[in-house]
Amino acid sequence: MKALKGPALFLAQFAGDEAPFNSFENIIEWAASIGFKGVQIPTWDQRLFDLDRAATDLEYCRSLQDTLAKHDMVITELSTHLQGQLVAVHPAYDEIFDGFAPDHVKGNPDARQKWAVDQLLKSAQASKNFGLTNHVTFSGALLWPYLYPWPQRPAGLVEEGFKELAKRWLPILDEFDRCGVNVCYEIHPGEDLHDGVTFDLFLEATNHHPRANILFDPSHFVLQQLDYLQFIDIYHERIKMFHVKDAEFNPTGRQGVYGGYQSWIDRAGRFRSLGDGQVDFKGIFSKLTQYDFDGWAVIEWECCMKHPEAGAEEGVKFVNDHLIRITERAFDDFASSGIDHETNRRILGLS
């Protein structure tokens, strides 16, 4: 068996304009001071990271790694969640998702998509430059407005949507393959890849591309009421990344999975800091260990109540308490009989 690594922290929810969250060096020093061993970097936040330089400048990459090494830390993965979202956007969301794009492509969906694809291609090269093997992103969504089958979806609509999604992603997946990096889609509401069935549809549309893989985040499955432990049993060969994030689902007589358009604090399904929700992390860490997952346990802090710094500090201990020290021998080795091959044959009546 292999052991998970951690704890690591996704920096997206912590980057800010004030110290210690306003520069790469400052935020790394802070993360190390509370016990993190790795960081997952949002490539869109230029306060922390310059993607253009990381894709072309090995000296820049070395300088970031040197900063990390001073604090005994590493980069676990790069993230293009926001850029990946823009690879496929239904027109209903054009204006909202323009907020993820730079000014020069806003209001121009075609230019915005080309920019997003270029960002993904640069991230493939940047990941290679850092010696990384996994990358996390969103799939984007053409079909999300048609999630509920009313009004009745036209025949072939879903198939056409996944055909187009695959067409947009295949050149990106091929480039990541050339760079030796897996693309790990975070299975997430709002994306066309939001559960196991939709991931299967995407795999089929991409001819089961070997670089199309999964970031496993159980919080999104709690909010969908999906069996996240069985999900690991089914998809463990494709799970290459892990976000440690908690959630709870408390349906009432007035609302359920859809949430009634309520804010996060008033929804039946809510993200919570680690240990404050309902996710069975003992079961998850055991399942991942059983299937030889040796990636990073990366905390993605999101909570509608708790302060992020408190969530990060508590999260370090939470992950450390759940990491499993792998045994080097079977528990019943003390009772081994030491019987050899010939004895085994005699026991079976084969001598």
**Looking at the domain that runs over 5-347, which CATH code has it been given?**
3.20.20.150
Task: Give the CA-trace dihedral at 220, 248, 263, 299, to 10 degrees.
Answer: -60
Residue 322 confidence (pLDDT): 97
Residue 327 confidence (pLDDT): 78
* pLDDT tens-digit readout, 137-172: 999 999 999 999 999 999 999 999 999 999 999 999
Question: In whole numbers, what is the pLDDT of the chain averaged over residues?
Answer: 96
Q: Which of 293, 296, 286 is nearest to 7 (CA)?
A: 296
Residue 330 confidence (pLDDT): 75
* pLDDT tens-digit readout, 46-88: 999 999 999 999 999 999 999 999 999 999 999 999 999 999 9
High-pLDDT (> 90) share of the chain, %: 93
Q: Which of 133, 148, 2, 155 is nearest to 74 (CA)?
A: 133
Does the pLDDT value for residue 334 go beyond 80? no
How many Cα atoms within 13 Å fall on the side-chain side of residue 31? 35
Of residues 125 and 326, the one with the higher pLDDT is 125
Residue 339 confidence (pLDDT): 77
Q: In terms of residues, how long is the chain? A: 351
Only one residue has tokens 């850092």, namely 130
Partners of residue 5 on adjacent β-strands: 296
Residue 350 confidence (pLDDT): 92
Does the pLDDT value for residue 332 go beyond 70? no
Average pLDDT over residues 204-210: 98
Residue 331 confidence (pLDDT): 67
